[in-house]
Structure 1
Amino acid sequence: MTPWIAWQLADSAFPAGGFAHSGGLEAAVQLGHVRDPAGLDRFLEEALWQAGSLTLPFVLAVLRAPERLAELDARCDAATPALVANRASRARGRALLRAATALGPAARSLEQEVLRAGLAGHLAPVSGALLARLGASENEAGRLHLFLAARGLLSAGVRLGLCGPLEAQAALARAGAVAQAVLAAAAGRAPEDAAASSPLLELLQSHQDRLYSRLFQS
C-alpha cells in the first residue's frame, strides 16, 4: 500500500462513517463512568485492547485470505451479538465500502461483491478485504485499524466536552504505546479465538439506545 493511500485512509476527512459513532463513550459519559480526560484515557486503553481481541483478528485474517471474506464476515457477525455494536459494525463497514469506491478500480468493485453476496459487511472483515486489494502489509493493516479506533474515540471525546483538541492529540500520542502492546499480544490470534475482552464496554455501548438524548449512533 502506498503511503499516500495510507494517509488518505487515516485522514479524518475520509468519509468512512466513524464520525457518527462513539463506541459506547457517549453512554459512558452520561452514566458517569467517564468524567474527565483521565477517564477518557482509561476508556481508550480498554477499547484498544477490546479491538485487539475482538476485531483485529478478522482484519488480519481477511487480509491474508481475501477469498474467506464471506465466511469470516459471518463469523464476525456471530462474534458480535450485542445489537448496538453489531449495527454499528455493519453501518461502518458499508460506509467504508462506499467511500472506497473513490480509491480506484482495485477497491471499486468490492462494494458490489459484498452486495451481490448478501453479506452483512462488518467493518473488520471489510477493512481486511479492502486493505488486501490496496496491497497493505499486516503491520500496516493492524496499525491503521487501531489508529482509527483511537482517533474515533478521541474525536467523540472532544465533541462530548471531555477534553480539548490539544489534549486529544496528547492522548492519541500516548495511545501509541498501548497500540504497540495490543499488536504484539494479538499477533497470531485466529478469528476463531476472537472474543470481547471488556464486558463493561459492551454493556455501555448497548445502553446507547436507552439514552434520552444523544449525539451518536453508538
Structure 2
Amino acid sequence: MADSSVSSLRSEAVQPKLIEDEIAELKRKLQDAQERLDAVTKTKTASRAVPSEPIVSNNVYHSGSSSHFLLLLADSALPLGSFAFSSGLESYLAHNRPPSFAKFMTLSLSAHASATLPFVIAGYRTPERLLDLDDALDAAIMCTVGRRASVAQGRALLSIWDRAFSSAVPPSTHAPDGTLQVLRNFSALLRTANASTDDLPPASAHLAPLFGVIARITGVGEQEMAYVYMLSHVKALLSAAVRASVFGPYQAQKLLASVDVQRGIEGAIRANWGRRTEDAGQTVPVMDLWIGRHELLYSRIFNS
C-alpha cells in the first residue's frame, strides 16, 4: 500500500509539468504562425501600393473623354429645352379616354425612331452632308408643330456646342475628316440665315443630324450615340408624364429602368439601323395629329 501511494504522488507531480510543456510548445507554434502571417500580409500590402502617378495610356484618356461626353449628351439637365415639349403626350391625354401611357410610349418610340434616327446615323456617318440632311429632314417633317420643336432643340444643341463643348473637346478626339470645320461652317451659315429676311433660310438646324455630327466629333461610339438619342426621348416623355400628373417620379424611374424600355429602345434602333434617310418617315400617322392638335387644346402646360 505504501509503494502504491508513492507512485500515485509521483504521477500527480509529473502531470502538471507535462501540461506546462505542452502549453509552451503551443505558444511557440502560435508565435511562429503569427510571424509567417505578418510576413505574407506585408508582401500583399506592398504589391497593392498605389503608385505616385496613375499608370494609364493615351488610349485610356481618349476613351475617358468619349465616355465623358457620352454622359453629357445623356444628361437630363442638358439645356435643350426638352422640358417645354411633350412630344404629343399632352394632346394624347386630352383626346383619349382612358389614356394608356404604355401604349403611347410604344407608338412614340416607333414614330420618333423611324422619322429621325436615320438622320442621326447619317449625320454621324457622313457629317459632310450635314446641310443636305438638315434640308431633307425639314422637308420630311409634315407637322408644323413637330418641326418647330425639332428646330428649337437643334439650335439649342448647336448653342451648347458653340458655348461649352467646342472648347472642352480634346484635340485628340477631333475627327480627322474635317467634321469640325463642317460644323463651324454650318453654325456660321445659321447665323447668316437668322439675319436674313428670306422666307426660305439656307439652314434650319434640326436636332437629329446635329446630334449625330456632334457625337462623332466628341468621339462617342455610333451604337452608344443611337442608344443615348433614343433614351433621351424616353426620358423626356417620362418627365412630361410626371408633370402632367400621369404618375409620380418613382414610377417614372421604375419605367425608365424596366426591361420593356430597354427592349423597346434596342428594337427601335435595330429596325432603323440600316434605313436610308430617303426611306425615313412617320410610321404612326396619328402621332402627327396629336402633335398638330396640341395648339388647339383649351389649356396646356407644354409648348407642343
Q: Is the 8 A contact 2:67 2:220 kept in 1?
A: no
TM-score by length of 1: 0.92
- 1:131 corresponds to which of 206, 215, 220: 215
Quote the offset at 1:34 in angstroms.
6.0
Q: Say which of 187, 193, 199 aligns to 1:111.
A: 187
**Partners in 1 of 2:158 and 2:91 — Cα distance?**
27
Displaced runs of 4+ in structure 1, greater than 2 A? 32-35, 104-118
Q: CA RMSD in A?
A: 1.8
Aligned match of 1:211: 297
| CA deviation string 1:35-60 (max 9, x = no partner) | 3xxx1121111111112211000000
Query: Does residue 1:163 correspond to 2:247, yes or no?
Result: yes
Match of 1:102 in 2: 164
Instruction: Give the Cα–Cα distance (whole angstroms) in 1 for the partners of residues 110 and 214 of structure 2.
Output: 23
> 1:84–1:34: structure 2 CA closer, same or farther, 3 Å change rule?
farther
Q: Given the alignment of the two structures, is residue 187 of structure 1 paired with residue 273 of structure 2, yes or no?
A: yes
Unaligned residue ranges in structure 1 (runs of 5+): none
Q: How many percent of aligned residue pairs carry the same amino acid?
A: 36
| SS of 2:91 mapped into structure 1 | helix
Mapped contact 1:114–1:121 kept (Cα < 8 A)? yes
Q: Distance in 2 between matches of 1:17 and 1:132?
A: 22
Q: Closer, same or farther in 2 for the Cα pair 1:154/1:33, shift >3 Å? A: farther
Task: Report the Cα distance in structure 1 between the residues aligned to 2:144 and 2:97, rounded to whole angstroms.
Answer: 21
2:58 equivalent to 1:15? no
Checking the alignment, whether the CA contact within 8 Å between 2:119 and 2:133 is kept in structure 1 is: yes
* Corresponding residue of 1:144: 228
Task: Choose between structure 1 and 2 for higher RCO, CA contacts under 8 A separated by at least 6 residues.
Answer: 1
Alignment deviations for residues 61-89 of structure 1 (CA, whole Å, 9 cap, x no partner): 01111110110111001110211011111
Deviation at 1:33, TM superposition (A): 5.3
Q: Please give the secondary structure, in 1, of the residue aligned with 2:283.
A: coil
- For residue 169 of structure 1, report the CA deviation from its aligned partner: 1.1
3-state SS of 1:136 partner: coil
Structure-2 change in CA distance of 1:114 and 1:97 (3 Å): same
Q: What does residue 106 of structure 2 align with?
A: 45
Go from structure 1 to structure 2 and tell me whether the alpha carbon gap of 1:75 and 1:33 turns closer, same or farther (over 3 Å shift).
Answer: farther
Whichever residue aligns with residue 151 of structure 1, its letter is: K
| Distance (whole Å) between structure 1 residues aligned to residue 281 and residue 98 of structure 2 | 24
Which runs of 5 or more structure 2 residues have no equivalent in the other structure?
Answer: 1-64, 170-179, 194-201
1:46/1:198 contact within 8 Å kept: yes
List aligned pairs for 1:48-87, cutoff 5 A: 48-87=109-148
2: distance between equivalents of 1:128 and 1:116? 23
Structure 1 CA distance for aligned equivalents of residues 156 and 234 of structure 2 = 18
AA in 1 matched with 2:296: R
* 2:20 equivalent in structure 1: none
Amino acid at match of 2:88: G
CA distance in structure 2 between the aligned counterparts of 1:87 and 1:165, rounded to whole angstroms: 28
Q: What is the SS of the residue equivalent to 1:104?
A: helix
98-107 or 138-147, which deviates more: 98-107
Give 3-state SS (helix, strand or coil) of 2:216's partner: helix
How far, CA to CA, are the matches of 2:191 and 2:232 in structure 1? Answer: 24
Is the alpha carbon distance of 1:34 and 1:146 closer, same or farther for their aligned partners in structure 2, counting shifts above 3 Å? farther
